[in-house]
């Protein structure tokens, strides 16, 4: 068991994954938390090595030693640049299973990972280790895309008013306490196209849209009050007219956000087990860091 205030950063030792380590170290410094740096040697890779070269203990030990030294170098650099307490952990096995198991054993408050890299972080985000960690972990998972220059300044929090919504707002507050929050609800108007088909007047349709957006804005204001947001640090957005993930992507650009905090769960029971389609598309298409909130940990 590591400390109660713990941030776990998973790294494949590649240059792109350094961004995730840097962000994790900055967050650990701000929260006076321990940073646990984890690298997993894939069990199948070691099995392949044994099959191809036999039980060459010297070679296997050399592979482990190299990973240990590289992990230590990253940890030493983070300690020097960020002044945080860093522990180093080398695990062997399936990366997703090992990282989530370690995060549970550490009672981590946050799991941080990159979205692209070498080894088990290579490839597109959807279907990658990063996405699978977001799906399997019972802890908030921060997927880092950007190099770190400053604390998060403006955070987009899309909500659907399901039970996880308040938890996502609170997580955003804890992660970026000085940032401006943009609370956003993608307004869906399922009857608009049918109303147009049957010849309903434009004025009636406009009233329908305005009423839906007005109700959503009122709910956003209530959510802000419920979660104790400072009205000077919050904006509200109620766009419509496209799929929710597209509206989220538009607001990310419109408000110049550098972080999106979105819940893994939604209105339906199935969403408790799977990443919802909107969350998956946000993870895939967002150009900024994405923090996936999990109700279990809030």
Query: Does residue 167 carry a pLDDT above 70?
Result: yes
Query: Does residue 84 carry a pLDDT above 80?
Result: yes
Q: Which of 124-133, 178-187, 225-234 has the lowest mean pLDDT?
A: 124-133
Q: What is the average pLDDT value for the chain, to the nearest integer? A: 83
Question: Could you give the CA distance from residue 290 to residue 183 in angstroms, rounded to a whole number?
Answer: 15
pLDDT, residue 238, reads 95
Look up residue 47 and give its two tokens. Answer: 């099995």
- In the predicted model, what is the mean pLDDT of residues 167-178? 93
210-260 pLDDT, tens digit each: 888 899 999 999 999 999 998 888 999 999 888 899 999 999 999 999 999
Report whether 172 contacts 291 (CB < 8 A): yes
Look up residue 74 and give its two tokens. Answer: 């990253």
CB neighbours of 35 closer than 8 A, spacing ≥ 6?
Answer: 6, 7, 9, 24, 25, 28, 78, 84, 85, 86, 87
pLDDT, residue 276, reads 72
Question: Could you give the CA distance from residue 213 to residue 242 in angstroms, rounded to a whole number?
Answer: 14
Three-class secondary structure of residue 96 per DSSP: helix
Three-class secondary structure of residue 160 per DSSP: coil
Using pLDDT thresholds of 50, 70 and 90, give the confidence band for residue 119: very low
pLDDT, residue 46, reads 58
Domain at 6-144: CATH code: 3.40.50.620
Report whether 150 contacts 124 (CB < 8 A): no
Range among 50-54, 189-193, 282-286 with highest mean pLDDT value:
282-286
pLDDT, residue 254, reads 95
Question: Could you give the CA distance from residue 253 to residue 29 in angstroms, rounded to a whole number?
Answer: 28
CA distances from 269 to 244, 265, 274 (A): 19, 8, 9
Our measurement of the distance from residue 249's CA atom to the centroid of its chain's CA atoms, rounded to an integer in Å, reads 15
Our measurement of the distance from residue 226's CA atom to the centroid of its chain's CA atoms, rounded to an integer in Å, reads 23
Our measurement of the distance from residue 24's CA atom to the centroid of its chain's CA atoms, rounded to an integer in Å, reads 12
pLDDT, residue 101, reads 93
pLDDT, residue 275, reads 58
Start-end of CATH 3.40.50.620 domains in the chain: 6-144, 154-297
256-276 pLDDT, tens digit each: 999 999 987 554 444 444 557
Instruction: State the number of CA atoms in the 13 A half-sphere of 54 facing the CB.
Output: 1
Query: Does residue 296 carry a pLDDT above 50?
Result: no
pTM reported for the whole predicted model = 0.85
Question: Could you give the CA distance from residue 124 to residue 48 in angstroms, rounded to a whole number?
Answer: 24
Using pLDDT thresholds of 50, 70 and 90, give the confidence band for residue 1: very low
Domain at 154-297: CATH code: 3.40.50.620
pLDDT, residue 273, reads 43
34-46 pLDDT, tens digit each: 999 999 887 555 5
Comparing C-alpha atoms, which of 61, 129, 131, 64 is closest to residue 94? 129
């Amino acid at each position: 068991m590591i400390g109660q205030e713990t941030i776990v950063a998973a790294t494949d030792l590649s240059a792109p994954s350094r961004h995730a380590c840097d962000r994790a170290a900055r967050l650990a410094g701000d929260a006076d938390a321990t940073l646990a740096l984890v690298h997993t040697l894939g069990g199948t890779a070691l099995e392949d090595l044994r099959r191809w070269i036999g039980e060459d203990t010297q070679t296997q030990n050399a592979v482990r030693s190299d990973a240990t030294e590289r992990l230590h170098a990253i940890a030493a650099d983070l300690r020097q640049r960020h002044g945080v307490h860093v522990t180093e952990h080398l695990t062997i096995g399936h990366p997703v299973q090992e990282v989530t198991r370690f995060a549970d054993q550490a009672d981590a408050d946050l799991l941080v990972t990159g979205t692209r890299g070498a080894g088990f972080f290579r490839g597109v985000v959807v279907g990658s280790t990063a996405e699978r960690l977001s799906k399997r972990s019972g802890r908030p998972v921060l997927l880092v895309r950007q190099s770190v220059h400053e604390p998060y300044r403006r955070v987009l929090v899309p909500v659907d008013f399901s039970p996880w919504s308040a938890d996502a707002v609170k997580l955003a507050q804890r992660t970026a306490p000085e940032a401006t929050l943009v609370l956003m609800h993608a307004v869906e108007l399922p009857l608009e196209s049918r109303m147009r088909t049957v010849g309903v007047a434009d004025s009636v349709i406009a009233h329908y849209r305005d009423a839906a957006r007005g109700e959503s804005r009122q709910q956003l204001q209530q959510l802000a009050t419920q979660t104790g947001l400072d009205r000077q640090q919050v904006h509200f957005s109620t766009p419509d007219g496209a799929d929710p993930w597209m509206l989220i992507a538009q607001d990310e650009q419109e408000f110049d956000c550098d972080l999106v905090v979105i819940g893994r769960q939604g209105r339906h029971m199935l969403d408790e087990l799977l990443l919802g389609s909107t969350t998956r598309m946000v993870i895939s298409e967002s150009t900024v860091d994405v923090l996936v909130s999990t109700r279990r940990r809030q």
